[in-house]
Amino acid sequence: MDNTKMHKSLGIDLKAHDTLIRALPELFKECFLNKEQDLKSLSYFYSVVADIHGTRVKELIEHKNKGPVIGSFCIYVPEEIILAIGGQLVGLCAGADFWVPYGEQIVPKNLCPLIKAGIGAKFSKTCPYFQVIDLLIGENTCDGKKKAWEILSDMVEMYIMDMPNKKSNSGLKLWQEEVKSLCNFLEKKFSKPISFDSLLKAVQKVNAKRSALNRLYETRKNSPTPISGIDTLLVTQIGFYDDTERYTKMVETLAKECEEKALSNSKSNDKKRILVTGSPMVVPNWKVHHVIETSGADVVVEENCTGTRYFKDNVSIENSLAKEDLLKNISDRYIRNINCACFSPNTDREEEILKICKDYKVDGIVYASLSFCTTYMIEAEKIRKVAKKNNIPMITVESDYSFSDLGQLRTRIEAFIENL
């Protein structure tokens, strides 16, 4: 499909966009098509990525006749509220190295690549998702993001959610107020009042998406795992921008196929089982998974925002009789159950990682931080201590989106796997 006309209408810099999009098929081939893979239901997810700046963008443009398209960079932004006003939430990817030099024209080089790529994507006018959104919701999590919003707000309309630093009673209260304020702001801005019914429906939809992902991840507890880590990462990444209901159905279908494959599998496998944890890995950042899985191990689970943190707990609907009850449950689910390193202390994450290691029979942890992601890099020390105490080997790697460190990364990861 030729998307030139559509991209032009969005104000895309067509020449620069061509360079960006030309690099993707090669990378995709290297990471996905060159490996063995026998799950039929994955073809949907592969086709979504192959057409990344096509059909979905068109759908979002069409959606704008019915409701807003809203962007975000963080899993603390509650999708339920956006769906309840008839909107669509798009997680802006910011995972491509292509955008980093554009970002570095504006912000310091020693910032994490996610922030630089996010700013670069907007500045270079090469991301159709960034061009299509009516509003970007930011959140005061890490310092880099907080300050990035000030720059991005000159290029796109923004709403910022304030975040507590502690999960104390006052922190929980602050977040409850923030969730309510977001709701009031969106209702007013888009003249779409949120009723109890519309919010309940939205909660059920997002809960169903989380449950489907949970079902898929459960199958990875089998040995051998029926689905590779890199394929599961891709599936989760797509959840950030695909249509929620369609995506849920496709994940359910894939999970069912994985369950059947696991049941009928009589072969055993002596591959080491790896947990990847740390900073989020957004499309098309597949680097660490690719290196681990082409070094002879299986990534069986990710404790990060493009892994279990994205879907792990549902919003409770029990005893919810009014919109206010649901808003409180939404705020509780997000603040209590997402263990981002921006919180201090963040001891729940230590417990969560140990539990995951046990449930998924993990042999070793790869702690992957994005370069200059200070919060996750510092927190690695806490996790290292906990892992050591529990005799779980762990390696810490720090990387950006470029491929210049691929050789070094491979050498370290191969040595780590060999010693497990």
Does 182 sit near ligand BJ8 (CB under 6 A)?
Answer: no
**Minimum distance from CB of 137 to ligand BJ8 (Å)?**
12
Own/partner pairs, 169-175, CB within 8 angstroms, 24+ separation: 171/335, 172/331, 172/332, 172/335, 172/336, 175/331, 175/334, 175/335
Q: How many residues bind ligand BJ8 (CB under 6 A)?
A: 20
Q: How far apart are CA 334 and CA 244, in angstroms?
A: 18
Sign of the four-CA dihedral 383, 384, 387, 392? positive
**Minimum distance from CB of 269 to ligand BJ8 (Å)?**
31
* Phi and psi at residue 27, to the nearest 5°: -65, -45
Provide the H-helix boundaries in 65-190.
79-84, 100-104, 113-123, 128-132, 143-152, 169-189
Does 340 sit near ligand BJ8 (CB under 6 A)?
Answer: yes
DSSP assignment, residue 33?
A: I
Sole window of 55-63, 68-76, 190-198, 315-323 interacting with ligand BJ8 (rule: CB under 6 A): 68-76
Residues 361-420 that bind ligand BJ8 (CB under 6 A): 370, 373, 375-376
- Whose tokens are 């705020």? That residue is 331
Beta strands in 11-170 (DSSP E): 69-72, 88-91, 135-139, 158-161
Does 141 sit near ligand BJ8 (CB under 6 A)?
Answer: yes
**Minimum distance from CB of 378 to ligand BJ8 (Å)?**
11
Sole window of 96-104, 110-118, 344-352, 381-389 interacting with ligand BJ8 (rule: CB under 6 A): 110-118
* One-letter amino acid for residue 384 of the chain: R
Q: How far apart are CA 72 and CA 24, in angstroms?
A: 23
Binding mask 273-292 for ligand BJ8 (x = CB under 6 A): ------xx------------
Q: Which is nearer to ligand BJ8, 251 or 370 (CB)?
A: 370
Does 353 sit near ligand BJ8 (CB under 6 A)?
Answer: no
Does 305 sit near ligand BJ8 (CB under 6 A)?
Answer: yes
Q: Which is nearer to ligand BJ8, 255 or 335 (CB)?
A: 335
Does 112 sit near ligand BJ8 (CB under 6 A)?
Answer: yes
Q: Which is nearer to ligand BJ8, 79 or 298 (CB)?
A: 79
Does 310 sit near ligand BJ8 (CB under 6 A)?
Answer: no
**Minimum distance from CB of 27 to ligand BJ8 (Å)?**
20
- Whose tokens are 């779980």? That residue is 392
Q: Which is nearer to ligand BJ8, 31 or 137 (CB)?
A: 137
Q: Which is nearer to ligand BJ8, 310 or 416 (CB)?
A: 310
Nearest CA among 32, 29, 1, 21 for reference residue 232: 32
- Cβ contacts of residue 239 below 8 Å, gap of 6+? 209, 213, 247, 251, 310, 311
Nearest CA among 375, 368, 376, 378 for reference residue 400: 368
Name the residues that contact ligand BJ8, by CB under 6 A. 74-76, 112, 114-115, 141-142, 144-145, 279-280, 305, 338, 340, 342, 370, 373, 375-376
